[in-house]
């Protein structure tokens, strides 16, 4: 993925972002110094007390009490470092709003609570027990409304007789307005072989749709409430575009047509919209470059699939 052409981002960066980062770097260093001056002595005191308690206290109960107190002191010192983390989070939110705003998009650090509803109804996401949604972005690409967010989904598992959580999805969930009118629900699921398909498609609405493109059939399984409408949506040209987009995505790719929208779930197993670390010089531009490349993918989806209303797909 490459940065969006014709957006004047380089001049925008030089004019708006670079001076802002210079000022924020001075602020970051002040916050870091202040926090470390407060937190490190507390952590050092806890470590010293822990070492002294281990060596000098003979009474087992008193030693246990002293060791526990030392750990509490160290934890308190470590929590003081959260001031740097909080500052970094606020910086990331402000930077994201500036950069997304340059591309004409509206950014929010949190996504609406009901965002995953359509994706779950279409069985585009694995089963999960805990969710975290962030980096909500909405806007238009060449007149095509869209909405997307990062999703971090975990499923509860048993490990050593205790509950734990296992990552099952980390990627993008996106909704784009689709230029064709349709009323049924058509789901494009990744093909995982006959055994996993039979297990994974239990409860999926509609009947299996067999299409003529052997490459598409090899990569995806399609289910729909309306066989005729599914073929109306998944034309040979559009199947070719979906295959291209899937190959350019950096993760497992699934889609659905539902409620007038095209839904996309991309499990990239990574974080998107890279942010600077509050523990390092934020003037380094690598994170900005990666950030803009991820933003470019928003436009790339609409362009590869030709979702603008004039093409009629």
Q: Is the pTM of this model over 0.85?
A: no
Quote the domain boundaries for residue 39. Answer: 9-305
pLDDT of residue 7: 58
| Any domain includes 312 | no
| Any domain includes 71 | yes
pLDDT of residue 197: 46
Q: Which run of H or of E encompasses 302?
A: helix 286-305
| Any domain includes 104 | yes
Note the pLDDT tens digit of each residue in 218-275. Answer: 999 999 999 999 999 999 999 999 999 988 887 789 999 999 999 999 998 888 888 8
| Any domain includes 179 | yes
Number of domains in the chain: 1
| Any domain includes 161 | yes
The three-class DSSP label of residue 162 is strand
Q: Which run of H or of E encompasses 221?
A: strand 220-224
| Any domain includes 313 | no
Using alpha carbons only, what angle is made at residue 171 by residues 198 and 256, rounded to the nearest 5 degrees? 50
Burial-class residue 12 by CB neighbours within 10 Å (0-12, 13-18, 19+). Answer: middle
pLDDT of residue 307: 86
Backbone angles phi, psi at 240, to 5 degrees: -60, -40
| Any domain includes 301 | yes
Tell whether the model's pLDDT for residue 159 goes beyond 70.
Answer: yes
């Amino acid at each position: 993925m490459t940065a969006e052409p014709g957006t004047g981002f380089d001049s925008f960066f030089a004019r708006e972002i670079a001076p802002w980062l210079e000022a924020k770097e001075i602020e970051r260093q002040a916050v870091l110094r202040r926090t470390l001056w407060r937190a490190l002595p507390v952590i050092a005191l806890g470590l010293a007390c822990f070492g002294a308690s281990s060596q000098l206290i003979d009474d087992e109960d008193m030693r246990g009490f002293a060791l526990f107190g030392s750990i509490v002191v160290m934890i308190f010192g470590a929590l003081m470092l959260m001031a740097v983390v909080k500052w970094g989070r606020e910086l990331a939110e402000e930077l994201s709003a500036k950069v997304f705003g340059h591309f004409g998009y509206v950014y929010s650090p949190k996504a609406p609570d009901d965002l995953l509803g359509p994706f779950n109804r279409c069985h585009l996401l694995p089963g999960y027990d805990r969710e975290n949604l962030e980096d909500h972005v909405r806007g238009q690409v060449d007149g095509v409304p869209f909405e997307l967010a990062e999703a971090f989904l975990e499923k509860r598992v048993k490990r050593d007789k205790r509950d734990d959580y296992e990552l099952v999805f980390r990627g993008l969930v996106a909704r784009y307005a689709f230029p064709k009118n349709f009323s049924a629900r058509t789901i494009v699921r990744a093909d995982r072989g006959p055994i996993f398909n039979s297990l994974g498609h239990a409860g999926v609405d509609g009947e299996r749709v067999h299409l003529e493109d052997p490459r598409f059939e090899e990569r995806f399984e399609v289910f729909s409430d309306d066989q005729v409408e599914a073929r109306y949506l998944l034309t040979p040209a559009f199947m070719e575009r979906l295959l291209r987009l899937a190959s350019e995505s950096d993760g497992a790719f699934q889609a659905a047509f539902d409620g007038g929208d095209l839904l996309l779930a991309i499990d990239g197993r990574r974080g998107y919209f890279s942010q600077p670390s509050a523990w390092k010089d934020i003037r380094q531009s690598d994170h900005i470059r990666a950030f803009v490349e991820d933003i470019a993918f928003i436009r790339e989806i609409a362009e590869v699939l030709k979702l603008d209303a004039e093409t009629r797909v």
